[in-house]
Amino acid sequence: MGNEGKKGTRIVLASASPRRRELLAQIGLGFEVMVSDVEEKVSATLPEQVVEELSARKAEAVLAALGDSGEDLLVIGADTVVALDGQILGKPHSPREAAEMLRQLSGRAHAVYTGVTLLYRPGGLGDVPEPSASGEASGSPGIPRRRVFHERTDVDLCPLTEAEIAFYVSTGDCMDKAGAYGIQGIFARYVKGITGDYNNVVGLPVGRLYQEAKEWIV
């Protein structure tokens, strides 16, 4: 699979996540990966604002690094967090921290937020504009257009025993995932139900993403 949309737009995913790569490939998009090295410090506090801000910083860093290539370019930035009672649970730094997160989530409902930023630059010209209040930057041809949005999915977990938590942590599947779990793996056995987009919990709401981007790539 190449790295272009049907219109010849070069598509770049600003994320190292294998799950996001799989989801983009699943919906038939050709793309390449370029990881940003931005520091994940934000000014926002609400989960939906945090993921939007971080997704935008990742996309902007990659767009700037690509420079003016003279081609139509779409950069996709994304960030996912788990929020319990409004408190953000990021990726655990240790097995002990992962186990503590799972204890907090056990038997409760929580929210998963993924923020997505789309930066489309026709002809590779122009500088990245400041976002408007609506999240989209309009402009003449050659000026990057920006769309920033987030999706929320609510996840309800079954109660987890200490033995179940210890087993899951021992698999190592918890260590690179927000909230210390991956819904697409063995942890699915502990999921009671979800409300919203399943793919959003995996790491990228590809249905919404495609609808927002299709005028630039189809």
Angle at the Cα of 198 from the Cα atoms of 77 and 95, rounded to 5 degrees? 75
Q: Are 140 and 122 in contact (CB under 8 A)?
A: no
Neighbours of 173 (CB within 10 A): 17
Strands 10-13 and 73-84: parallel
Given the structure tokens 């290539």, which residue do they identify? Answer: 69
Positions marked active-site: 79
Q: Are 105 and 97 in contact (CB under 8 A)?
A: no
C-alpha neighbours within 13 Å on the C-beta side of residue 89: 25
* Distance (Å, whole) CA 174 – CA 177: 6
Strands 145-157 and 87-89: unpaired
